[in-house]
């Protein structure tokens, strides 16, 4: 009696283990398939959905008079659509912020992020990146005549403004631990906060800060850069075929001279 029960129990356990193993295997296979399908899905759909900034002058800024987003990242994204889908208009732009870009990607709302996004080891745990397509570095923006001349002046009692979900907030806390960091939802809000004197400096990539100084010349960058911020295009983890297609497209854009044309159009420094 006892022996029969034990036998049944063992049999059930072995069966359960087999079933679980089979499911595990299937799951792995499915996500591999999904990765493969992402590029095909885009082709079937006839457009690529790209997450871009809407508030970052020079990279991705919504023009209120046309309703169109404009900037370096936007032009690069259009060229990617041209390379992959044969038409630079086969792209739909969705707004992302530094905080929302990874969740939107992983929810499947967007196929790729082209939005001033630094490639970091931490982010590589959540998403996959293409090769570097732009090199920036973190810096500081202050009102002209400010006592803050470099990161060394960010002592106790000073306040720095930054954006949630950006590498800038992490870096500044590490490199200027005494300063108080105030975090905002996006760059438009952070710049407004600097103008209304809620902080002594705004910190993010030099490329983004140049856009702000361009908009209001009573502000300037100080102290040079204190980090390296290589930008990459992010896609959902495991989408190897899409990463490969994007890298190929980036290479073609560079080789054809289109990249330099777009760079010179937007980046003056
Ligand atoms: N490149 C930095 C980052 O990826 C700062 C710019 C941004 O917030 O998008 O976090």
Pocket test for ligand 1, best of 53, 57, 97, 98 (most atoms within 8 A of CB): 98
Q: Band of the pLDDT at 25, cuts 50, 70, 90?
A: very low
Q: Band of the pLDDT at 24, cuts 50, 70, 90?
A: very low
Q: What percent of the chain has pLDDT over 70?
A: 87
Ligand 1 centre from 121 Cα, in Å? 14
- With beta carbons less than 8 A apart as the criterion, state whether 50 and 77 touch: yes
Q: Among residues 106, 35, 110, which one has the least CA distance to residue 80?
A: 110
* Element of type H or E holding 5: helix 2-45
Model confidence over 6-23: pLDDT tens digits? Answer: 556 555 555 554 444 444
User: Comparing 6-10, 53-57, 222-226, which segment has the lowest mean pLDDT?
Assistant: 6-10
Q: Among residues 20, 22, 237, 18, which one has the least CA distance to residue 112?
A: 237
Residue ID of nearest Cα to ligand 1 atom 8:
166
Q: Which atom of ligand 1 is nearest to the CA of 208?
A: 6
Averaged confidence pLDDT in the chain: 90
Q: What is the model's pLDDT at position 29?
A: 31
Ligand 1 centre from 117 Cα, in Å? 5
Q: What is the model's pLDDT at position 11?
A: 54
Q: Is the pLDDT of residue 219 over 70?
A: yes
Indicate the burial class of 49 (C-beta count within 10 angstroms; 0-12, 13-18, 19 or more): middle
Q: What is the model's pLDDT at position 8?
A: 64
All structural domains of the chain, each given as residue ranges with its CATH number in brackets, are 38-135+231-266 (3.40.190.10), 138-222 (3.40.190.10)
Stretch 141-167: mean pLDDT: 98
Stretch 223-231: mean pLDDT: 98
- For residue 153, give the DSSP letter: G
Model confidence over 167-203: pLDDT tens digits? Answer: 999 999 999 999 999 999 999 999 999 999 999 999 9
Count of other CB atoms within 10 angstroms of residue 105 = 23
Helix axes 72-85, 2-45, angle to 10 degrees: 100
Q: What is the model's pLDDT at position 38?
A: 82
Q: How far apart are CA 183 and CA 194, in angstroms?
A: 12
């Amino acid at each position: 009696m006892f022996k029969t029960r034990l036998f049944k129990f063992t049999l059930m356990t072995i069966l359960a283990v087999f079933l679980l193993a089979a499911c595990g295997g299937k799951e792995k296979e499915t996500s591999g398939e999904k990765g493969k399908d992402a590029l095909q899905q885009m082709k079937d759909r006839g457009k690529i959905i790209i997450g871009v900034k809407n508030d970052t002058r020079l990279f991705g800024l919504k023009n209120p008079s046309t309703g169109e987003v404009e900037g370096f990242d936007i032009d690069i994204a259009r060229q990617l659509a041209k390379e992959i889908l044969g038409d630079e208009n086969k792209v739909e732009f969705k707004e992302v912020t530094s905080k929302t870009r990874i969740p939107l990607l992983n929810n499947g709302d967007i196929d790729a992020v082209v939005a001033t996004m630094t490639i970091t080891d931490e982010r590589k745990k959540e998403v996959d990146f293409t090769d570097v397509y732009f090199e920036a570095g973190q810096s500081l923006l202050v009102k002209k005549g400010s006592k803050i001349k470099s990161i060394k002046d960010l002592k106790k009692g000073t306040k720095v403004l930054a954006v949630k979900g950006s590498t800038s907030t992490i870096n500044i806390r590490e490199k200027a631990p005494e300063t108080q960091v105030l975090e905002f939802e996006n760059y438009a809000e952070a710049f407004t906060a600097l103008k209304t004197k809620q902080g002594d400096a705004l910190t993010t990539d030099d490329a983004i800060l140049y856009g702000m100084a361009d908009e209001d010349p009573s502000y300037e960058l100080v102290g040079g850069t204190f980090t390296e911020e290589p930008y990459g295009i992010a896609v959902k983890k495991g989408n190897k075929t899409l990463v490969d297609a994007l890298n190929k497209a980036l290479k073609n854009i560079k080789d054809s001279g289109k990249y330099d044309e777009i760079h010179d159009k937007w980046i003056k420094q």
